[in-house]
Structure 1
Amino acid sequence: MTSKNEDYIAFTGDTGDLDVLLNDYKLSESALRFPNVNSILIPKKAQHNLRKHCKVILRTVDSDIDIAVEKCLVFLSNLASTYYTDSKWKPLNAMLLHQQTKNADNTYLYTKIIKVLTTGTSTGAFIEVDKSYQKGFESKKFRLTDTYLKAGLIEYTIKDAGIISTRNKLYYQQLSKAITNPICYNLIMMYQKIDLPTSEELLAIGRKLVKEGRITKKGKILTVRNKHKDHYWLDVKNRSFVEDNIELFEFLTSRGFMIPSAGDMSSGGRVVDSFTLMPSWIREQITIEGKKLTECDYTALHPNIAIKLYDGSMTYLTHGLVAERTGIDLKDVKIEHLSFFNMTWNGMRKSPLFEYYSTNESDMLARIYHDKNEHGHKITSQKMFMVEVDIMSAVIRDLNAKDVYVLYVYDALICEEKDRELVAETMNCIILEHGVKTRVKVNSSDFIESTFEPLQKYALDEIVNLYDILPQLSFDVEDTLKIISGIDSSNVEMTKLLDYFNKQTAQQKYNDYDGVLITPSMISKLKILIKP
């Protein structure tokens, strides 16, 4: 169940596309932006239709029609973000709705407002309510009706002093929380330095990127809409439209930046602001003193966090390594990794990545299965987000202490070029302190991936050096020396090493076994090194 004081919009992250994902990513439902607390976005024609057709029922909200109308508009403004999401349903927390619309005597009015908006006019309701709502499990969901979704948004300036006062209090509550969060505070310090492109400049840049064949991080084709409707494209779901992206940019920035907001335990405390929600190609156009910023991004962070959390054996995993060993296209591996560990167990099994992990990290997958089975499938992503936020918070604290401020995009930091070396060095150092073995990408591409050489393969009768082979199978120095001592040689035929592994595996079944632990994943890795 969502917090009493906050409810949030959830988004897909740095993919250039937004969607409502319940309890994953969190953003204040009131979407307050500093400093325009009296400015809201509402569906076109909503104010006119309320005033003209709903006067009688509006008096149940307030005897003053003007105040009643504005309280209904405040409610509707909570749904403005759904113009830019795939799902039009959005959960709204009851306590927040009460805080937004209550009278001075703390009277609950939001249920009466819902009645006004669901009753609507002779031409239909303003909103719909999800009938599947179960009290105690999540906030009730609402959506704008098609009539008002198609109408678009306009800006409205609230006039009632009482409503403005209430929004000011919510504003300062949210701002005070942001100041005490290291990531949010850092962002507030960064905002004063950055310059944004104009919508006209973005349209020209977008057209250029389309000609260059730009693909979003989620694998969608950047496309110029040119006033065409969705049905113009047979593969519309595989496209991200320049004009729509610019509208989203305007929604996120035109009335001031959103106050950065940290989520609750379900999102691991991930921070959401105007820039995490911005399409990445637009975010690339941000400048400081006329110079574009540069991004420092961890390589395959979540897979490597999963390996840490669930005692996997691999280290410094990259998307390129998985692509090379599976034959799956690198682009597809990156897209699959965005959601693989967040899926249900059945969803993971259907993923093209499952075979790779079941072969190389079978024990880790077993632990993930038991965790999801016991605590629900979202537990994996929640734990990974918490580790991610801990790492990024530590990095940002260290940088801020050196008077360096950055934009934050979950597992990446965007900084001035002059600070890139320091930011990357700090990120690489701190992540190792957290026990996660990956590093910042080199030149905006995965290290190793761009110059990855295929693994050397060995014939069964070929002599191999165990000092070269065993570290590739995740054995540490101590276990490597024990195995060499057990075989009584550091240079052996590959077939002898395989026989040794099989023998040790069989002996492990006995309680008095004191040899080196040989897991099925280690044997699988060894077999990968054998020529077919």
Structure 2
Amino acid sequence: MNFKNEDYIAFTGDTGDFDLLQNDYKLSESALRFPNVNSILIPKKAQYNLRKHVSKPMLRTIDTNIDIAIEKCLVFLYNLASTYYTDDKWKSLSSKILHQQSRNADNTYIYTKIIDVLTTGTSTGAFIEVDSSYQVGMQSKKFRLTDTYLKAGLVEYIINDVGIIRTRNKIYYQQLCEAMANPICSNLIAMYPKIDLPTSEELLSIGKLLAKEGRTTKKGKILTMRNKHKDHYWLDVKNRSFVEDNIELFEFLTGRGFMIPSAGDFHSGGRVVDSFTLMPSWIREQITIEGKKLIECDYSALHPNIAINLYDGSLTYLTHQIIAERTGIHFDNVKIEHLSFFNMKWNDMIKSPLFDYYSRYDSDMLARIYHDKNEHGHKITSQKMFGVEVAIMTDVIRYLNDKGIFVLYVYDALLCDSKDFDLVAKTMNRIILEHGIRTNLKT
């Protein structure tokens, strides 16, 4: 059936409009793209224990309908699902978001009642813990799952309550609107349909090979096959990154669709987070477009060179290799130290092996960093650097998108199709200089 343009305008809401939908390939395909917001991941046994062992009067303080009260508790627990894959099991949760997730039609604050239920728990213990060091107005309150539920693992749960599903739909589209208004996020959304992901089975084979070859992560951890062993099997477990755990994280990030990319607040300088920034780098390397792997375009020692610009340093085109050669510190150790050096408290910076280098070659810059940290707190340096980094990457991505080129963003690096590499590289090298940062892409 052929439709004229006026047929598209004639939607009335009548059931007859479904005839148009079913017979138009493009519209029919679009109807498959709505998010499944009723699917969440929760700790195993959490639903059973809430239903069987939690006080019914306590649950009714959340909602008179026990089923709805339980599902609101499960949505709260879902907020902590990502901590299964992080070293730090504590997670800050905004009271504003918690209220938005759980409020009733009359806008009643419910989330505090949910916290009461989950911290009280059952006769065998609580579901969550609350960080007692929380200070009003300083930061969002932190929560963690208790060990019982951390050890249990995650399981999918399908929400049934229409009201909760509608609330989650609103939140989803709100986040999507915010993402589309951000140049980095909208670029990522345009990039996602082109991406082909490896299977978990393929990743396991690749991971085994990389572990055998002695691959290390960017933080210097040794890629290791767990082979069903528990952490205590390794004396240096904190220095290892496990292939199987990495694959579980990959499945968490991509198994039910990609995260909506989200820009952070001023603390992170507006850095964007999505399924791919959070993905282990060796897995991200396996992403393909039309069977071809992406090429990474990465600035050389970007943050040290941003710091030099921000604090009127005298060094130019600084690289990790230059510092390694002048100090005798191994190149890999220089890279790892630079990941945290400028974010450290001043006393910790002094203890870093990099401090002597900067003290010798750019002591005036160090003095200005000291005064800034002393006046505004030790995180001010990294906050400023992240802000500059995001401004640079935003300008690069805007220019590339205007040329019809879309890229994967990983903070200070971009992953692109090989056919676009030359233009991406030239653009990154040009724009970094326009921002006054004297560095360029790694060769």
1:504-527 alpha-carbon deviations (Å, 9 max, x no partner): xxxxxxxxxxxxxxxxxxxxxxxx
Paired positions, count = 410
For 1:48, the equivalent position in structure 2 comes to: 48
For 2:179, the equivalent position in structure 1 comes to: 178
Contact 1:79 1:144 in 2 (8 A): yes
- Structure with max Cα Rg: 1
- Residue type at the aligned position of 1:220: K
Moved more, 209-218 or 275-284: 209-218
For 1:198, the equivalent position in structure 2 comes to: 199
Q: Which aligned pairs between 1:124-523 and structure 2 lie closer than 5 A? A: 124-442=125-443
Measure the CA separation in 2 of the matches of 1:294 and 1:216.
18
Structure with the higher fraction of residues in helix conformation: 2
Measure the CA separation in 2 of the matches of 1:174 and 1:352.
42
Measure the CA separation in 2 of the matches of 1:334 and 1:297.
13
- Residue type at the aligned position of 2:439: T
How far does residue 44 in structure 1 lie from its aligned partner after superposition?
Answer: 0.2
Measure the CA separation in 2 of the matches of 1:134 and 1:342.
22
How far does residue 128 in structure 1 lie from its aligned partner after superposition?
Answer: 1.0
How far does residue 332 in structure 1 lie from its aligned partner after superposition?
Answer: 0.3
Which 4+ stretches in 1 moved above 3 angstroms? none
For 2:28, the equivalent position in structure 1 comes to: none
Measure the CA separation in 2 of the matches of 1:222 and 1:160.
43
Contact 1:34 1:257 in 2 (8 A): no
For 1:91, the equivalent position in structure 2 comes to: 92
Contact 1:36 1:256 in 2 (8 A): no
Gaps of 5+ in 1: 1-32, 443-532
For 2:27, the equivalent position in structure 1 comes to: none
Q: TM-score, normalised by structure 2?
A: 0.92
1:317-371 alpha-carbon deviations (Å, 9 max, x no partner): 1100000000000000000011111111111100000000000001111111111
Measure the CA separation in 1 of the matches of 2:268 and 2:212.
37
Measure the CA separation in 1 of the matches of 2:311 and 2:132.
39
How far does residue 36 in structure 1 lie from its aligned partner after superposition?
Answer: 2.3
Measure the CA separation in 2 of the matches of 1:276 and 1:201.
20
1:361-411 alpha-carbon deviations (Å, 9 max, x no partner): 011111111111111111100110011000000000000000000000000
Measure the CA separation in 2 of the matches of 1:372 and 1:220.
30
For 1:121, the equivalent position in structure 2 comes to: 122
Measure the CA separation in 1 of the matches of 2:181 and 2:111.
31
Measure the CA separation in 2 of the matches of 1:35 and 1:399.
29
CA gap 1:34/1:308 in 2 versus in 1, 3 angstroms: farther
Measure the CA separation in 2 of the matches of 1:235 and 1:49.
36
- Residue type at the aligned position of 2:36: N
1:398-450 alpha-carbon deviations (Å, 9 max, x no partner): 000000000000000000011111101100000000000100111xxxxxxxx
For 2:39, the equivalent position in structure 1 comes to: 39
Measure the CA separation in 2 of the matches of 1:65 and 1:265.
40
Q: Secondary structure at the match of 2:339?
A: helix
- Residue type at the aligned position of 1:340: F
1:241-287 alpha-carbon deviations (Å, 9 max, x no partner): 00000010011110110000001111110000000000000000000
Measure the CA separation in 2 of the matches of 1:435 and 1:133.
40
Contact 1:34 1:256 in 2 (8 A): no
How far does residue 34 in structure 1 lie from its aligned partner after superposition?
Answer: 7.1
How far does residue 38 in structure 1 lie from its aligned partner after superposition?
Answer: 1.3
Aligned-CA RMSD value: 1.0
Measure the CA separation in 1 of the matches of 2:249 and 2:169.
25
Q: Secondary structure at the match of 1:227?
A: coil
Measure the CA separation in 1 of the matches of 2:220 and 2:375.
33
For 1:487, the equivalent position in structure 2 comes to: none
Measure the CA separation in 2 of the matches of 1:157 and 1:398.
42
How far does residue 87 in structure 1 lie from its aligned partner after superposition?
Answer: 1.3
For 1:74, the equivalent position in structure 2 comes to: 75
Measure the CA separation in 2 of the matches of 1:141 and 1:258.
22
Measure the CA separation in 1 of the matches of 2:133 and 2:371.
29
Contact 1:257 1:274 in 2 (8 A): yes
For 2:24, the equivalent position in structure 1 comes to: none
- Residue type at the aligned position of 1:51: R
How far does residue 104 in structure 1 lie from its aligned partner after superposition?
Answer: 0.9
Measure the CA separation in 1 of the matches of 2:195 and 2:157.
27
1:286-318 alpha-carbon deviations (Å, 9 max, x no partner): 001111111000000000001111111111111
CA gap 1:34/1:221 in 2 versus in 1, 3 angstroms: farther
Measure the CA separation in 2 of the matches of 1:120 and 1:329.
50
How far does residue 56 in structure 1 lie from its aligned partner after superposition?
Answer: 3.2
Q: Secondary structure at the match of 1:192?
A: helix
Q: Secondary structure at the match of 1:321?
A: helix
- Residue type at the aligned position of 1:268: G
Q: Secondary structure at the match of 2:337?
A: helix
Contact 1:127 1:143 in 2 (8 A): yes
- Residue type at the aligned position of 1:415: C
Q: TM-score, normalised by structure 1?
A: 0.76
